[in-house]
């Protein structure tokens, strides 16, 4: 796989192509291997979701009935609740770059497993009466397959409750949501719910305004395979 291919792989799920800045093929291979085979990665995910669950229980206990807005959590999808390392491993194995066509085929399979800890967290949220919103840069064309994948794993989708409430907010689904920036979608959620917690694997999954709140209301998961971080690598990285 050439350098451009590796950097393109790392650009998955972002709308901007990553610049080719010195990433070497072994970086992609090692990143995928770490995600798929290290016990530390599993431990990090479970640790993060356990801490998030503790924070969520605390918030739910503080919330009294009669609040003007119901509580919600906002989670990202890829590498936050769904594990696409199988797709990425295939790219590395075949020496291919990320391509929207191969990605769309993977999404259509509806076979991504859950990130460790994610399902228990989401179910706890539902049990506490906290709505889980999935704010993802998967496209609106990929929404049905994404819903099917999440539902098959047991993630709450409001299917049985407020069926009119759309909790899977994809890129391009509404006017103003065409970009990969998630601010407009976070604002839409905040109009109807009080968001008490965010979970993501990319800085772009968290608000850009106000103080950072990692470990309190914001919980971040590891993703060495791709992300916005890969667009700002130094030339000798």
**Residue number, 5 or 225, with CB nearest to Mg ion:** 225
Please report how close the Cβ of residue 206 comes to Mg ion at its closest, in angstroms: 11
Nearer to Mg ion, 161 or 229 (CB): 229
Pick from 6, 72, 76, 170 the residue near Mg ion by CB under 5 A: 76
Q: Closest separation between CB of residue 33 and Mg ion, Å?
A: 19
Q: CA 233: distance to chain centroid?
A: 21
Distance, CA of 29 to CA of 110 (rounded, Å): 24
In the bound complex, what is the minimum distance in angstroms from residue 162's beta carbon to Mg ion? 26
- Considering only the stretches 74-82, 111-119, 170-178, 206-214, report the one whose residues sit in contact with Mg ion under the rule CB under 5 A: 74-82
Interface with Mg ion (CB under 5 A), residue total 5
Q: Between 144 and 180, whose beta carbon lies closer to Mg ion?
A: 180
| HEC assignment per residue over the chain | CCHHHHHHHHCCCCCCCCCCCCCCHHHHHHHHHHHHHCHHHHHHHHHHHHHHHHHHHHHHHHCCCCCCCCEEEEECCECCCECCHHHHHHHHHHCCCCCHHHHHHHHHHCCCCECCCHHHHHHHHHHCCCEEEEEEEEEHHHHHHHHHHHHHHCCCCCCCCCCCCCCEEEECCCCCCCCCCCHHHHHHHHHHCEEEEEEECCHHHCCCCCCCCECCCEEECCCCCCCHHHHHCCCCC
Is there binding between residue 79 and Mg ion (CB under 5 A)?
A: yes
Pick between residue 142 and residue 201 the one whose CB is nearest to Mg ion: 201
- Of residues 160-179, those binding Mg ion (CB under 5 A): none
Tell me the window of 17-25, 85-93, 105-113, 200-208 that interacts with Mg ion (CB under 5 A): 200-208
Pairing of strands 218-220, 131-139: unpaired
Q: State in angstroms the smallest separation of the CB of 30 from Mg ion.
A: 20
Cβ-closest position to Mg ion = 78
Q: Which is nearer to Mg ion, 200 or 217 (CB)?
A: 200
- 23, 147, 201, 230: which one binds Mg ion (CB under 5 A): 201
Stretch that binds Mg ion, among 25-33, 78-86, 119-127, 208-216 (CB under 5 A): 78-86
Pairing of strands 71-75, 168-171: unpaired
Q: Which residues bind Mg ion (CB under 5 A)?
A: 76, 78-80, 201
């Amino acid at each position: 796989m050439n350098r451009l291919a590796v950097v393109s792989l790392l650009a998955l799920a972002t709308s901007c192509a990553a610049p080719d800045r010195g990433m070497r093929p072994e970086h992609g291979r090692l990143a995928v291997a770490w995600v798929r085979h290290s016990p530390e990665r599993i431990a990090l995910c479970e640790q993060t979701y356990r801490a998030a669950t503790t924070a969520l229980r605390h918030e739910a206990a503080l919330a009294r009935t009669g609040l003007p807005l119901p509580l919600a959590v906002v989670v990202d999808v890829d590498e936050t609740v769904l594990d696409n390392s199988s797709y990425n491993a295939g790219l590395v194995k075949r020496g291919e770059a990320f391509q929207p066509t191969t990605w769309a085929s993977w999404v259509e399979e509806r076979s991504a497993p859950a990130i460790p800890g994610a399902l228990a967290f989401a179910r706890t949220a539902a049990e506490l009466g906290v709505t889980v919103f999935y704010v993802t840069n998967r496209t609106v064309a990929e929404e049905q397959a994404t819903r099917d994948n999440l539902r098959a794993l047991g993630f709450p989708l409001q299917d049985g409750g407020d069926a009119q409430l759309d909790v899977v907010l994809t890129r391009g689904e509404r006017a103003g949501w065409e970009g990969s920036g998630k601010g407009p979608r976070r604002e839409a959620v905040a109009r109807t719910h009080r968001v008490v917690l965010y979970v993501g694997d990319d800085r772009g999954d968290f608000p850009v305004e106000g103080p950072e709140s990692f470990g309190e209301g914001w919980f971040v998961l590891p993703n060495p395979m791709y992300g916005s971080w890969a667009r700002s690598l130094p030339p000798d990285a």
